[in-house]
Amino acid sequence: LGLSGPPGAGKSTFIECFGKMLTERKHKVSVLAVDPSSSTSGGSLLGDKTRMTELSRDMNAYIRPSPTRGTLGGVTRTTNEAILLCEGGGYDVVLVETVGVGQSEFAVADMVDMFILLLPPAGGDELQGIKRGIIEMADLVAISKADGDLVVPARRIQAEYISAMKLLRKRSKVWRPKV
């Protein structure tokens, strides 16, 4: 599964919760988390592993943060090979968290079985998704943080994305993207 979304959407939180649910069901889960690299120093924080504290201690989970090192598209130059290595190593679920910073971070969509776009309910211009780009590649759009005071905005953005996705060209004859 590939997962992208804007900063603060809750990608790491989602992966930790979903990953723990999968390991409790006896799956072996690998997480390939991609972090942006500095254009000045070339360094990366590689902080995703620290945000997934429970999953990182799970013996049935493996978390590998990697820097982009200037590669565009939200993944690293070797993400596809890393997915194959994880599968070969016995991990039956591989989650790829992209850099996830804009409309063009969807290179992972061609590497995975399902590409999920995670969106917060109060992210500014709700119809950014109708722009050609990342929304066209999403197999599933998940609205995060849909609780408390954000229930109403979450339902509104869900309805807007359902309408917007009807305008997009279908990528598959058998699957219709869900929101």
* Residue 175 belongs to some domain of the structure: no
Q: Each residue's pLDDT tens digit in the chain (179 positions)?
A: 999 888 888 988 999 999 999 999 999 999 998 876 555 555 445 555 567 889 999 999 999 887 765 555 556 677 888 999 999 999 999 999 887 655 556 677 888 999 999 999 876 554 454 455 778 888 999 999 999 999 999 999 999 889 888 887 777 888 889 99
- Domain of residue 30, residue span: 2-167
Angle at 138 between CA 119 and CA 151, to 5 degrees: 30
* Residue 172 belongs to some domain of the structure: no
Burial of residue 25 (number of CB atoms within 10 Å: 0-12, 13-18, 19+): exposed
* Residue 116 belongs to some domain of the structure: yes
* Residue 179 belongs to some domain of the structure: no
The tally of domains found in the chain comes to 1
- How far apart CA 136 and CA 11 sit, in angstroms, is 19
Give the residue among 18, 176, 178, 179 at the shortest CA–CA distance from 97. 18
For the CA atoms of 135, 10, 146, 57, what is the dihedral angle to 10 degrees? 130
pTM to 2 decimal places: 0.83
